[in-house]
Amino acid sequence: MANEVWKHFEENEITHSAAHYLMTINTLLAEHGYARVTDIAKHLNITRGSCSISLRPLKRRGLVVEDENKFLQLSEEGRRLAELVERNDELLEILFRDVLGVSDEQAEIDACKIEHLLSIETSVRLANFIHLIQSNSKVVRAFIKALEESQLQCLHEAARCDLCQHICFFEGEGETAKHPDERT
């Protein structure tokens, strides 16, 4: 079963683009109390035309609702999805940055890419984990310290390297590639 998942990857509940439309509408509604196509287009830095086209399937699915004055609202399901993806983004960013030690920028990028793909089950488990991490208790501080102190370093020889295992991940990436041991 699990090894068949990749075949259905494109059948995720919402696409990444749809997730960002829903989150944008949710943000605009919270900040201004209304959301029109113009506002969404401006917020996402796209044209009105392509914004309208992208909103069509969301309206068809009943996630976005337009009233007679062309003001957009989210249905309960639309809002649920928007808030779930937003929460996932926040949790993933904290996990990558504060627990794993990924740089701010990369943590933000990777969280954005995955945010819409988590199941509720994983999202809830992740929320529990981050909740514990943010308690900053003695055991959490000890754990973070132990993790920092046990970072693997690439040996540039895959057979002996615990990071790469079969082929070196870092060779041929040019000078921009950052090795774990160069992390600041």
**Residues near Zn ion (CB under 5 A):** 112, 154, 161, 163-164, 168
Closer to Zn ion at the Cβ: 35 or 164?
A: 164
Distance CA(163)–CA(6), nearest Å, equals 24
Work out how close the CB of 16 gets to Zn ion at its nearest, in angstroms, rounded to a whole number. Answer: 6
Work out how close the CB of 61 gets to Zn ion at its nearest, in angstroms, rounded to a whole number. Answer: 19
State both tokens at 23.
């989150």
Residue type, 102: V
Closer to Zn ion at the Cβ: 112 or 140?
A: 112
Distance CA(107)–CA(167), nearest Å, equals 25
State both tokens at 1.
């079963």
Work out how close the CB of 145 gets to Zn ion at its nearest, in angstroms, rounded to a whole number. Answer: 24
Closer to Zn ion at the Cβ: 15 or 75?
A: 15
Work out how close the CB of 20 gets to Zn ion at its nearest, in angstroms, rounded to a whole number. Answer: 6
Closer to Zn ion at the Cβ: 126 or 163?
A: 163
Closer to Zn ion at the Cβ: 37 or 163?
A: 163
**Following DSSP, what letter does each residue of 35-85 receive, concatenated?**
--HHHHHHHHT--HHHHHHHHHHHHHTTSEEE-TTS-EEE-HHHHHHHHHH
Task: Express the helix, strand and coil content of the chain in percent, nearest 5 each.
Answer: 60, 5, 35
Residues constituting the chain: 184
Work out how close the CB of 137 gets to Zn ion at its nearest, in angstroms, rounded to a whole number. Answer: 31
